[in-house]
Structure 1
Amino acid sequence: MKTFTKASISLFLIAIVAQSCSRKKDNFINRAWHSVGTEYNILYNGEIALQQGLETVNNAYTENFWELLPIERFEAKTDEVRLGNEAQNSDFERAEEKAAKAIQKHSMTIGGKEKNPQIDEAYLLLGKSRYYDQRFVPALAAFNNILNKYPTSDKINQVKVWREKTNLRLGSPELTIKNLKRHLKQEEVEGQDLADITAVLADAYLAIKEKDTALKYLDTAAVATKINAQKARYNFIRGQLYNEFGKRDSANMAFDVIIDMHRKIPRAFYINAHLAKSDNFDAETGNKLEFLEYLTELEENRENRPFLDKIFNRIARYHQSEGRDSLSEVYYNKSIAKNKELTSDKVLFSRNYLILGDMYFDRTEYKTAGAYYDSTLTNMIEKTKPYRVVAKKRKNLEDVIYYEGIARANDSILDLLKLPKEEQVAYFNKYIKELKVQDSIAAEFEKKRADKEASRANAAKNRGFGIAGSQRASVPGLPGGNNGGNTDFYFYNPTTSAYGREEFFKLWGNRKAQDNWRLSSNQNSIKSGEEGVSAENEIVTQLELYDPEYYIKKLPIDKVEVDSISTDRNFAYYQLGLIYKEKFQEYELAKSKLENLLISNPEERLVIPSKYNLVKIYELLGQMDEYEIAKNRLIAEHPDSRYAEILRNPNSQLAKDQNNPETVYENLYRKFENQDYAEVISESEENIKRFEGDGYVPKFEILKASAIGRLKGFEAYKEAVNYVALTYPNSEEGKRAQEILNNALPLMSNKEFLPEDDGNSFHVIYQFDSAKKEEIKKFTEELTKIMERLPYPNISLSKDVYDENTTFIVVHGLKYITSALGFGPTLQDYKERGTKGITRKYITASSANYAIIQRHKNLNEYINPE
């Protein structure tokens, strides 16, 4: 009986379960069964997978507090819109699978209505998982499905928020604004729903650059949200926007909200709110002592250790603003060291390195500044405006380093030559004293190293590890030993050996392996690619190195040599003046260089342009008394110069056009384009003399070289370009000339003609004497008329200069050699409308061979091959 009862109950329960599994019957049991199974099984696991995926995304995301934070902690890939269904994140894929399973197995659509109240949740999970996986189009379909099928869902506010977030990601902020504003008018929304809607509206307005409207909605979101992390984010963005609008007090109030939340929010927001608020400190009205104590407290708080790199940077900026450069430099370097240790924040790296580079630049320590700028560039994003600005500054710095090196070295020599013999002796005695200290340090270093090696050798010997015969095989790390990397013996340990080699080169430079190798005359005696090539044949003893007379004898005494040093120094001063004025807008530095130049007995070619640039610098600095004095002096002393004319009549056409090197160059370039090469060469030479010392001279030189190449061929062009590269090595044109020598000319050097059959484009060439301009004009007009009626598509005509005496009329665009060969006979037979036809001799050549003819001026070799 009991068995029968148990069996009956079991069958009854099975029947109930079987009946409740049906998705076609609308009764309480069926609805409850599918609803509970959906919510507490499938959707529960799907939500867990979604949260795991979000955790992965958030861990990979780094907040960039240096820029305006995004409203949503999510980085969308804007370069592509993924349309497919294949997920990239396994957690989001699992969440999507669970949502799809819930829809497929538990949806109860009966009579056109959904009876399972959890299906809208399933579609929402489906859309979210696709959204976070950055498949926005499929996500939008899921959200729209809820709005279309479940308009009475209790999740309708959330669904509309997610749909408009998706529209925003798809690049439709206007649609997002329209839909959400309409929803706010139609529905009473409050609490977290209101916070979410206004946050998305703020995001949309930011996307269309309407920051003031975005701020209005963000204020609402920051108050309405109950989620602390969102409250911190929204308030931080509010502070950033208020700062952009210049409302420091409002910004500080927003940052204070974050600071008051303290441990309720991520520490990064708390610290960055402190730092952002500190940036609004007014040094003129605020208490500097209290502010410094405030920064010091941030530094000393143990909880702030993960953010010391940013705190050190803020302290450094404060000390720099107060003129304490040495202290600020210490903190910038501490910030760099902590950044490497903690976060590797590239923005912070780049800012620290850039500021230090600027500090060294202001001190005229250009090599060090250049190194810092190099480090700045490695931590910046390429192809951005800040990167280009620093890259340009670094490139310009190369010229500064070069000319400052010349100026300093030559100034030192000239200053020494002016000193009496006693002061020269005193100067070199001071140098010798420093040299003895260095030699003493080097000797101590060698002694310690030798003692260390000896003690290691003795220790190895005492342990029974000799290096002879069979014992060598058992010593790890020695040649023939059991391994190659675990020995303490100096020369067989790669790390120790490399360190020692580096220290040696730092201390001694590159030395040849020979007796007396420590003597300074042997430094840098080994050149790359040479073995034992000595820079000097002189053997210098240590006694001589410690004798001031040795150095005094090396000072130049020949007048020609001294004048050359002075000339180089003066030109360096001039170039530095122009670089500081034009490229860096460092007018005080430019003024100093040009003023020093004018009191240094410069060459005549530098005097007038230096005076003119000084006049302009005085004007830019607002030093109007000096401006008027310098202007009147230049006009009085050099009345016939173009600079005097510009100063007398700054608005005159002569000043603007005829005497302006830029305008002269542009006019000359147009002549180059018109193939007036002989005229370009002649006028370039005149203008090079006329504008000597001006920054446009290298431009005239490279234009002249190009004209020479077009008129005289490859070898003449090579010589002219080489001259530009050697004469103006630090100008843009000189560097370009060097690139041409290294890269372009080797490719152009081949003068061997190619087989005509290999060509894919051919020319028909007619030769003329360049002096017979009327004949050339008449032939060109006649040929043009005939070509308009010929059945050759895409053919064209050009007049090309070959050399000083020869001009080509060239027909281009013939695709086949047979077309080129038959073109001449076609013209001879063409007698339509009274024309006599063209019977002039011609040459055919492929495009490649025509380029060789023009490049090497070897037409005769082409016509009459051996």
Structure 2
Amino acid sequence: MRKTSNFLLLLFLFSLGCSSEKNTFTNRLYHNVTAHFNAYFLAKEKIEEAETDFKAAYQEDYTQVLPVYPPIDSTTVEGNMDKLEEARELAGKAIDWHRISQWVDDSYFLIGLIDYYEANTDDAINTYKYLNVNSKDNEVRHRALIQLLRIFVEQRKFDDASYVIDFLSKETDISKDNKQKLYKTLAYYYEARKEKDGVITALERCIELTSDKDEKSRLNFMLAQLYQRAGFDALAYDFYKEAAEGNPPYELAFFSQLYAQQVAELEKSKDLKKVRDYYDNLYKDRKNTDLRDVVLYEKALFELKQNETEEAIDLLHKAAQELGKIEKQKGYIYQKLAEVFFDEKEDYRASKYYLDSALQHFKETDSNYEPLATKKEVLDRYTVNFEILQENDSLLRLSQMPLEQQEKIAEDFIKAEEERLLAEAAAKTDKQNSGIFNNLLAFGNDGAASTFYFDNPTAVQQGAIDFYRNWGNRALADNWRRKANSFQGNTVSSLPTEKDTATTQKISQKDSIQGILPDKETLLANIPTEPDQITALNVQMEEARLELGKVLFFDLDRPDLAREYLIDLLQFHPDSEKKSEAYYTLYLIEKETGGSTAHYVSRLNKEFPDSPFTKSVNNPVSETSSTAANKTAESNYKKAYEAYKNGDYASARNLARSTLNSYPLTDVTDKLTLLDIMITGKTSSNQLYQESLENYIATTENPALTKMARNMLEALTGEKDEEALSATAPASVSDSLNVNDTTVTAAAMDSLTKVEQVYQVKKEQTHIFILVIDPQEITQTKNLSAELENFHDKNFQDARLRTGNLSFTRNQSILLVSPFSNAEKAMTYRNKFLADFKYQGLPEELKKRSFVISIQNFQQLNKRKDIAEYEAFFKTSY
């Protein structure tokens, strides 16, 4: 009976402890123990498992300053979603089932952390704000604020982050563990703001509070990198040595040793042999087998500092062939090769192909991806046109040779290809080991190349070449000897396209080993024989020379090389339609380099008087952009009109035309043009007068002046235009021309087809960026040009952009930024402008009204004065 009574008493006490509401000592004890060691413990363990996976999925890039917090890949998070959701469920149970325990707030913190990892940042922020306000546990509250700070930094909400920092700075009794996290997050804050001094200070304090050896080694390595880049080699050496202590991961230890030696003696040593031996010993060390590409890369950098460019290139090529284990390292190797060929050898074509390889080893999220991709776009344009010019020039030279000589060159080319393929195959032939175990193998030998045919690349390649000599290039097929499969039908192709030609001359090694070699007939078929074929090649070369000149001048800052290609264009294509643009680009080159621009200004005025390029050199944007241009043009117009009324037509014409040439984009441009036509009516034939009026009516959108021109045409021909039938009574010519307050309205478009007939898509032409400004916005944007200059200095420092303002119509001004060598460059500028340009007086709605326009289309826009019409064209074409 006594045992039964004791059992019932214990059962009664236990039942009291199970209640989640009663705040008794027994209750609290039960819920604290159960919540801590069951639900909370298991939830935290699941999160730590996921964090271990996050860490394992990230590959450190030791060649760059390590990030304070390694980025977490969303794919890895998705792969751990089950663990995170299980942790959420367990943390929820710790809250719901054990409400009076001490671990409720800790469980809320875990739920906020899960939301953070799952990118539910708003929920995470609300959770941590709730803990800050409601939690009585300072340990949890501080931890929540630190995590909140990290989220604000990631979101680049620096004002909110600064508020949290200020709040925490006033808190007392922050635990050692939370202080360590706080200083690490402060380092993250300064890292995001690119304040290196702040990062260094925060990391030094963080290291003092860090007990985990691997974490401490990593932080010491980061500090060493920062000090090395700041030029404090002695401090960098000390921190690299600290990083190597404590048995850190092998890669971290390897890079710590490598960079410590660099800052200690390699960079300062005059004993070059000692330095080279150091790298050679690192390379031979079997522990570094997976890091040999790193060793060769670092040795190449050393050789570059000794101006041993060829040796460095050879080392980089060898590094690229090593297997390695760090994916990005291959990217850095190819990037360095691209830089060497760009800067040292000025071989932009080779640099482009190395950049192609480099970008394959970087992710789009990597910081260097976008700059490399942008540079590659420029080099792509250069390479395409360079190869067109090179290939077409070779084909044209061949076309002028006798057939016998063409055949000899084709045969020599095929023979050289065979020798190249055999040499490559020989280099790939593996030497067999002559050890005792190898001799026991079925095909073991004395260490020479394998005697088994399919194990010997040289033999396979020789067999493929022999087959080609007998049978030509044949696709794999059953019964290929059948007569139906004509040999001639398989080897002779039609005239190849430009891309086909390039493909024929660049056969991959893999295909070559299969016996794919160009036959003589195919090579000869590529040589142009017909006049239209030769003309087509010349047209391509003409375009390529212009594009090369523009790319080299505007993008690669090589005016000397650009000048050569443009002069070649003028020499080899004297009747080119692109001469005006070539003259204009040469004018800019001479202006940039301090040369004489007079020759090209003269050629433009003489050969292309109506070209927009001619007007541009006669009236630089900066000169016509001021209000003085409008005042001068207005004054000259009045004088010319007075001379016309007085019958002094010669003076009136000279003044009108000189004003149009000097100030082509003013408020009175249309009136000056019509005055010039009226003078033509007094001094020239009726036919020329009629043609001038018809052209003016077709291109001018000023209603009052168009109506006046129709009246003049009707008076001349006696025929009334259909549009004039609905017009109101004509105004006096004299009175109308004296009206200064003309109104420009947007003409209604009949259809998109009509717009496309006026404007043409020519994205390869030089482009202008335009921002339309209405009168009521002029006051707010008075300092806009200065702000844009600052924007250009920061983002387009090497682009040589010019900014100007024009009074486009009486009711509108336009801001112009020029020149852009093509539409792509102009659109890149516009996108950057929309995303990053901030100016208090420029609302977003006005920014979005900006557009880009080619030189040719700008000439039409200036005549038609219809912004809305061009905006419709821009939206559909760009």
| Aligned pair partner of 2:87 in 60, 70, 95 | 95
* Residue matched to 1:391: 377
Flag structure 1 segments of 5+ consecutive residues without an equivalent: 109-115, 418-423, 446-489, 491-495, 529-544, 622-626, 646-652, 680-706, 713-766, 785-795, 808-850, 856-866
Partner of 1:538: none
Contact 2:112 2:127 in 1 (8 A): yes
* Residue of structure 1 aligned with 2:334, choices 346, 352, 372: 352
Picking from 60, 63, 83, the partner of 1:63 is 60
2:253 paired residue number? 270
| Residue 192 in structure 1 maps to residue 174 in structure 2 | no
| 1:22 is the counterpart of 2:19 | yes
CA distance in 1, matches of 2:620, 2:123: 67
The alignment status of 1:53 with 2:50, answered yes or no, reads yes
CA distance change for structure 1 residues 285 and 152 in 2, over 3 Å: closer, same or farther? Answer: same
Query: What secondary structure is seen at the aligned counterpart in 1 of 2:112?
Result: helix
Q: Which AA in structure 1 matches 2:273?
A: L
Distance 1:429 1:89, change over 3 A: closer
Aligned to 2:450: none
Aligned match for 1:400, one of 352, 368, 386: 386
Aligned match of 1:180 in 153, 162, 165?
165
Report the Cα distance in structure 2 between the residues aligned to 1:500 and 1:615, rounded to whole angstroms. 56
Structure 1 residue 352 displacement after superposition:
0.8
2:212 aligned partner: 227
Equivalent AA in structure 1 for residue 299 of structure 2: I
For structure 1, which segment, 165-174 or 54-63, has the greater mean C-alpha deviation from structure 2 after superposition? 165-174
One-letter identity of the residue aligned with 2:39:
I
AA of the residue aligned to 2:384: E
| C-alpha contact 1:147 1:156 (8 A) present in aligned 2 | yes
What's the counterpart of residue 286 of structure 2? 302
> Equivalent residues in 2 for 1:371-770 (5 A)?
371-378=353-360, 379=362, 381=364, 384-407=370-393, 524=493, 579-586=551-558, 589=561, 641=602, 656-658=617-619
Residue 451 of structure 1 aligns with which residue? none
The answer to whether the 8 A contact 1:46-1:98 is kept is yes
Does the 8 A contact of 2:139 with 2:178 survive in 1? no
1:128-143 matched pairs, under 5 angstroms: 128-143=113-128
Distance 1:34-1:435 versus aligned 2 partners, 3 A rule: closer
Q: State the AA in 2 paired with 1:352.
A: Y
Query: Which of 293, 296, 315 matches 2:277?
Result: 293
TM-fit CA distance, 1:394: 0.8
Residue deviations 1:636-665 (CA, integer Å, cap 9, x gap): xx69945999xxxxxxx9995259999999
2:419, 2:154 → 1: CA distance?
A: 69
Q: 1:207 aligns with which of 192, 206, 209?
A: 192
- Displacement of 1:40: 2.1
Q: In structure 1, how many angstroms separate the alpha carbons of the residues matched to 2:20 and 2:727? A: 89
Distance 1:659 1:92, change over 3 A: closer
Q: TM-score, normalised by structure 1?
A: 0.52
Correspondence for 2:28: 31
Code of the residue aligned with 1:106 in structure 2: it is H
CA distance in structure 2 between the aligned counterparts of 1:250 and 1:244, rounded to whole angstroms: 11
2:9 aligned residue (8, 12, 35): 12
| CA distance in 1: counterparts of 2:59 and 2:272, whole angstroms | 33
Q: Could you tell me how far apart the structure 2 residues matched to 1:139 and 1:66 are? A: 34
Q: TM-score, normalised by structure 2?
A: 0.52
Q: Report the secondary structure of 1:342's partner residue.
A: coil
8 Å CA contact 2:388–2:541 kept in 1: the answer is: no
What's the RMSD between the two structures over aligned residues? 6.6
Q: What SS class does the counterpart of residue 772 from structure 1 fall into? A: helix
| 1:216 alignment partner, one of 181, 201, 219 | 201
CA pair 181-350 structure 1, distance change in 2 beyond 3 A = same
Paired residue for 1:535?
Answer: none
Aligned-residue offset at 1:199: 1.5
What is the Cα deviation at residue 101 of structure 1?
1.4
| Alpha-carbon distance between aligned partners in 1 of 2:541 and 2:134, rounded to the nearest angstrom | 84
Counterpart of 1:482 in structure 2 is none
Q: Distance in 2 between matches of 1:285 and 1:237?
A: 25
What SS does the corresponding residue of 2:68 show, helix, strand or coil? coil
**1:309-332 deviations in whole A, cap 9, x for unaligned?**
444433334344544445434443
Give the aligned residue type for 2:391. G
The answer to whether the 8 A contact 1:88-1:133 is kept is no
Structure 1 counterpart of 2:146, one-letter code = V
- Contact 1:195–1:224 at 8 Å: present in 2 too? yes
Quote the residue 1:106 is aligned against: 98
- What letter is aligned with 1:772? N
Match of 1:584, as an amino acid?
A: L
**Secondary structure at the residue paired with 1:117?**
coil
Question: 1:176 touches 1:201 (CA, 8 Å); kept in 2?
Answer: no
Higher relative contact order (CA 8 A, sep 6+): 2
Alignment of 1:356-367 (within 5 A): 356=338, 359=341
Deviation at 1:126, TM superposition (A): 3.3
The secondary structure found in structure 1 opposite 2:97 is: helix
In structure 2, relative to structure 1, the CA distance for the partners of 1:591 and 1:291 (3 Å cut) is: farther
**Which runs of 5 or more structure 2 residues have no equivalent in the other structure?**
425-453, 455-459, 498-518, 607-613, 625-659, 676-693, 700-705, 715-722, 732-743, 756-868, 874-878
Q: Residue 800 of structure 2 corresponds to which residue in structure 1?
A: none
Given that 2:303 and 2:312 are in contact with CA atoms closer than 8 Å, whether structure 1 keeps it comes out as yes
- Shift of the 19–350 alpha-carbon distance from structure 1 to 2, 3 Å rule, reads same
CA-to-aligned-CA distance 1:250-280 (integer Å, 9 cap, x gap): 445444432344x22x334334445666786
Cα distance in structure 2, aligned partners of 1:59 and 1:167: 25
Distance in 2 between residues matched to 1:18 and 1:571, nearest whole Å: 91
- In the alignment, the residues of structure 2 paired with residue 505 and residue 202 of structure 1 have an alpha-carbon distance, to the nearest angstrom, of 68
Q: Check 1:387–1:711 CA distance in 2 against 1; reply closer, same or farther (3 A cut).
A: farther
- The structure whose Rg is larger is 1
How many Å separate the matches in 1 of 2:30 and 2:727?
94
CA distance in 2, matches of 1:365, 1:285: 32
* Rounded Cα–Cα distance in structure 1 between residues aligned with 2:540 and 2:137: 87
CA distance in structure 1 between the partners assigned to 2:344 and 2:153 by the alignment? 47
Identity, % of aligned positions: 15
CA contact (8 A) 1:510 1:524 kept: no
| Distance (Å, rounded) in 2 between the aligned partners of 1:140 and 1:568 | 60
1: CA distance, partners of 2:587 / 2:665: 30
Aligned pair count reads 593
SS at match of 1:106: coil
